[in-house]
Amino acid sequence: MSARPIVVQTEDLDGECARWLAERADLERAPAGDGAALARLLKDAEGLVVRTYTRVDAALLARSPRLRVVGRAGVGLDNIDLKACRSRGVAVVYTPDANSSAVAELVFAALLDALRPRVYLDRPLALAGWSDLRRGLVAARQLEGLTLGVWGMGRIGKRVARIGAAMGMRVLFHDLVQIAPEHRWGATPVGADELCHAADVLTIHVDGRAGNRGLVGAGALGLLKKDVVLVNTSRGFVVDPAALAAFLRAHAEATAILDVHEPEPVAPDSPLLGLGNARLLPHVGAATRDAHGRMSWVVRDVWRVLCGEKPEFPA
């Protein structure tokens, strides 16, 4: 057995970060979904680095007798059983603010695509065609003056509120905890029902607790405006897909933009597939090189734990 600790990586890491860890530990790759390779490597692994699609639970820990630390390259810990890890004495580290800006940017990129569609010219146009094209691109609404509802005022929600306020939107939010005025960026706290009723744009940024499953179901959807733009970049299970599909079929003016789904990939029988006002993205909220790099530097905390040091970002 190597004198250096073995760390298993199951999903993509930034190349620089992977090389940094490989200089210090024996870094082994077991692609997510390759259960045989993972089981073989976990027998001797002291560290494990995962992202979204590796479930770290009691069953995995039972196959990992030497495991000391799990690094989650990302923000949410939905796929990590923290209780099971603590009971085994396995530290969990993560990157809590690594992708907040990237997700907030995606929210507004998607909103601008929905509200301000654009056409790029690849050939000269006669005056008549030019005029017709310009008339066809007159948007019914612009962000300034619309009411932005932020459901979940955590790290990402605060960034979204800040951007919305800067763009001249009236910003409301709902959260389970009190948010100090200096951290609201001018947003006004309201109840969940009022948020749904008032929002022209409703964007969801709640955490992965079990109580948020089906949070946006028939009840909440029934309070929304008929031309609402609904954005979910939090967790797929937060939105009831059947209820949302019924809402979108009944309100052709409404738009739903979903970057997260349950399951992933999107199931072939999803009721949202084929709806013209449902825009489904392949979970790309954190898909920037900067965010990927920040998430991948979880390897520093993995190494700190393996060296007996205190991690910077313990879960």
Catalytic (active-site) positions: 235, 264, 283
* Distance from C-alpha of 19 to C-alpha of 41, rounded to nearest angstrom: 19
Structure tokens at 157: 């929600």
Strands 229-232 and 201-204: parallel
Three-state DSSP state, 314: strand
- Residue 33 burial (CB < 10 Å; 0-12/13-18/19+)? exposed
Q: In which residue are the tokens 């639970």 written?
A: 57
User: Is the distance from CB of 9 to CB of 296 less than 8 angstroms?
Assistant: no
Give me the sign of the Cα torsion angle 146, 152, 154, 155. negative
**Residue 39 — φ and ψ, nearest 5°?**
-60, -40
Three-state DSSP state, 34: coil
| Residues 6 or more apart whose Cβ sits within 8 Å of residue 50 | 10, 11, 32, 56, 70, 71, 72, 73, 79, 80
Going by the DSSP 8-state scheme, the letter that residue 189 receives in this structure is E
* Distance from C-alpha of 213 to C-alpha of 174, rounded to nearest angstrom: 17
